[in-house]
Chains A and B, each alone.
Chain A
Amino acid sequence: RKEVEQDPGPFNVPEGATVAFNCTYSNSASQSFFWYRQDCRKEPKLLMSVYSSGNEDGRFTAQLNRASQYISLLIRDSKLSDSATYLCVVNLSSASKIIFGSGTRLSIRP
């Protein structure tokens, strides 16, 4: 089983739609969680950290469920510029390892 699993998509949704991505992780000792965004032919960049209480940044909301070992990202009122690949990331601090999911591709259509 992969340490971090994501639905690869692609998700193809109209502008203005709400879209949700899910991610599961296998190591219960994982300490911190992130969502990264990667544009075509570019390096991944941090979108937001994910905290136990859930956190929001504008149109983006991230949730963590430690009991189910599950992370989610919700994008409201999607824009054309949101088209990218979204990567779920887990930091296994005990091993100094940062593990990436394979990414979910999102395409927003006009």
Chain B
Amino acid sequence: DVKVTQSSRYLVKRTGEKVFLECVQDMDHENMFWYRQDPGLGLRLIYFSYDVKMKEKGDIPEGYSVSREKKERFSLILESASTNQTSMYLCASSLRGGYTEAFFGQGTRLTVV
């Protein structure tokens, strides 16, 4: 059974804190993605990675960075958390190529106070 695991289901952080969201997949997928989901806005792509140490900006990268040191792990970093980063964060992975689906983790609901 395919598995994408996010380190936390719920997180509460203070404004200005550095926040790490971790995602691990066990399917040997080349591509990994970080999205945030907000009511009325759907899933918006923050960053994605198509290989180890490779990263590409998505549609809303501002205020975020990522790290992919190993194929199975993709980390999202909020350098200095702000209240407008309160959201549901979803990690996904897929095989390289144009005909593959994405598999999601269970999501992390982050609240910044």
**Chain B interface, >50% SS class:** loop
Which B residues lie at the A interface, using CB under 8 A? 30-31, 33, 35, 40-43, 45, 48, 50, 56, 58, 90, 92, 94, 96-102, 104-107
On A, residues with C-beta under 8 Å from B are 8, 31-32, 34, 42-46, 49, 87, 89, 91-103
15 contacts between A and B (CB under 8 A): A8-B40, A31-B99, A34-B101, A42-B106, A43-B107, A46-B101, A49-B99, A91-B100, A94-B98, A96-B48, A98-B31, A98-B33, A99-B45, A102-B43, A103-B43
Residues in B with CB closer than 8 Å to A99 are 45
CA distance A49 to B108 in the complex (A): 26
| Cα separation A46 to B50 with both chains bound (whole Å) | 21
Could you tell me the distance between the alpha carbons of A103 and B106 in the complex, rounded to whole angstroms? 18
